[in-house]
């Protein structure tokens, strides 16, 4: 593999699965030893990975003494990095907390499942893989648009598993770009302004969801896996082939074009979610009622 192009994150193979585009993020080098992979988090990628990870933990008070945190591993690049970041935190932090690693098998094919196990073993992540046939169920009950139902069911399954293990928090691998894209998608396709929160309490379970990669950019995660030779799972879904187009993919492509003219535009979008001026908003709502700017006109 060509090491001279190790920072070219645009060298990503695209494979069509029906009407969806599945990014195949391929390693640039052979799989590196565990100690080198772990060291790169604190050394080579400290400013890109470790620092924004710690920033989110501190700013949103995600980890406290006595926490028992379930880290959900999907097999993709984001959750593998999240797991290693938490292991580094456990070694370096004075905060007393426990880590439990869980991975739900929603119906992965044999190749993806074996690759997941291989990565967990090499990265020294003691993870419990449990079966929950969500792909098949979601495909049956929501045949035309199964993605929303699948995501909802997967979240519920992880909540159930985490609480059964006595965890009070569930960590997911949503990153900075996920937050930006979700914010835009809520406006473009749902007619509302809302974002992906860094932490929130479950409505139906006694557990708190946290997103420690809130400030970690996807391009930095891609560099980390590719330059360490990690072949993370690229697309594990067996349901949506030929059924759905990806609104998230469309939003990603739009942002790619916007970033060319304004490199900081993603940061500005995140800042907008923290600087909402209610005096210049036509209306807003809570879980209990709606408000209009005319209420106090």
pLDDT tens digits for range 34-80: 999 999 999 999 999 999 999 999 999 999 999 999 999 999 999 99
Binned at pLDDT 50, 70 and 90, residue 269 comes out as very high
What pLDDT band is residue 137 in, cutting at 50, 70 and 90? low
Rounded CA-CA distance 161/167 in Å is: 9
Q: How far apart are CA 195 and CA 219, in angstroms?
A: 20
The whole-model pTM stands at: 0.87
How many CB atoms are located within 10 Å of the residue 59 CB?
Answer: 11
The pLDDT assigned to 234 comes to 78
Do the beta carbons of residue 72 and residue 170 sit within 8 Å?
yes
Which pLDDT tens digit goes with each residue over 114-124? 999 999 999 99
Distances (CA, A) of 73 to 78, 144, 170, 249: 9, 27, 11, 22
Strand, coil or helix: 146:
helix
> CA 184 to CA 192: how far, in whole Å?
9
Q: What does residue 134 show for φ and ψ, rounded to 5 degrees? A: -75, -35
Residue 34's closest CA among 123, 146, 163, 137? 123
| Residue 43 φ then ψ, to 5° | -105, -85
Name the range with the highest mean pLDDT among 75-84, 226-235, 237-246: 75-84
Can you tell me the distance from the alpha carbon of 95 to that of 244, in angstroms, rounded to the nearest whole number? 44
**Residue 261: exposed, middle, or buried by beta-carbon count in 10 A (0-12, 13-18, 19+)?**
exposed
């Amino acid at each position: 593999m060509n090491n001279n192009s190790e920072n070219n994150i645009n060298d990503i193979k695209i494979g069509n699965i029906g009407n969806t585009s599945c990014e195949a993020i391929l390693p640039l080098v052979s799989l590196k030893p565990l100690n080198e992979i772990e060291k790169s988090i604190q050394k080579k990628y400290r400013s890109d990975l470790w620092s924004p990870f710690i920033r989110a933990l501190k700013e949103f008070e995600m980890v406290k003494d006595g926490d028992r945190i379930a880290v959900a591993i999907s097999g993709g690049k984001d959750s593998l990095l999240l797991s290693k970041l938490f292991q580094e935190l456990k070694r370096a932090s004075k905060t007393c907390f426990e880590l439990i690693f869980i991975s739900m098998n929603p119906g992965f094919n044999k190749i993806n499942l074996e690759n997941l196990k291989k990565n967990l073993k090499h990265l020294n992540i003691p993870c419990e893989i449990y079966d929950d046939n969500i792909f098949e169920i979601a495909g049956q009950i929501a045949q035309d648009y199964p993605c929303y139902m699948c995501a909802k069911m997967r979240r519920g399954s992880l909540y159930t598993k985490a609480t059964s293990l006595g965890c009070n928090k569930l960590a997911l691998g949503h990153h900075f770009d996920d937050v930006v894209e979700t914010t835009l998608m809520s406006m473009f396709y749902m007619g509302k302004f809302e974002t992906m929160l860094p932490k929130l309490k479950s409505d139906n379970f006694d557990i708190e969801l946290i997103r420690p990669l809130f400030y970690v950019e996807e391009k930095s995660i891609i560099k980390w896996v590719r330059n360490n030779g990690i072949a993370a799972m690229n697309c594990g879904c067996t349901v949506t082939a030929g059924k759905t187009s990806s609104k998230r993919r469309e939003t990603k492509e739009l942002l790619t074009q916007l970033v060319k003219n304004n490199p900081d535009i993603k940061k500005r979008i995140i800042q907008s979610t923290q600087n909402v001026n209610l005096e210049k908003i036509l209306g807003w709502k809570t879980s209990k009622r709606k408000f209009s700017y005319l209420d106090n006109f």
